[in-house]
Amino acid sequence: MDRKEFREWFCTIRFFEGRGGWYFLSPDGLAVGPHTGERDAETQAVRLAKILKRLDGERGAREIVIQFAIDGMPVAA
C-alpha cells in the first residue's frame, strides 16, 4: 500500500456493529473484531494503521492484518 492509498483508507475507515461487537474494515476489506465498543474498535484501527504505516509497501500487510484480527498482536513487522 503506497502512502496515498494508506491516507485514503485511514481517512475513510468504516466501523460497524455486528455479531458479538464492533468491527472495522482493514485496507483490503477484512472485518477486524469483534471489539467491546465503537471506541475500542477505533482505538484498535488506529493501532493497526500505525503498524501498517511502518511496512515497506504491501509486503506482509495481509499477514499482519490477519494476525492482528486473530489475536490483536501483530506478527514481527
Domain count of the fold of the chain: 1
Residue 37 within a domain: yes
Q: What is the pLDDT of residue 74?
A: 46
Answer whether residue 64 shows pLDDT above 90.
Answer: no
CB 72 within 8 A of CB 44: yes
Domain span at 28 = 3-71
CA angle 34, 73, 61 (to 5 degrees): 90
pLDDT at 9: 72
- Residue 76 is assigned to a structural domain of this protein: no
pLDDT of residue 36: 93
Mean pLDDT in the chain? 80
Tell me the H-state helices in 1-77.
3-11, 38-53, 61-71
Residue 23, domain member (yes or no): yes
Residue 26 within any structural domain of the chain: yes
* 18 within a domain of the structure (yes/no): yes
Identify which of 58, 36, 62, 3 has the alpha carbon closest to the alpha carbon of residue 44. 36
Q: Is the pLDDT of residue 8 over 80?
A: no
Does some domain include residue 17?
A: yes
Residue 77 has pLDDT above 70, yes or no: no
User: What is the arithmetic mean of pLDDT over 52-57?
Assistant: 73
**Residue 77 within any structural domain of the chain:** no
Within a domain: 50: yes
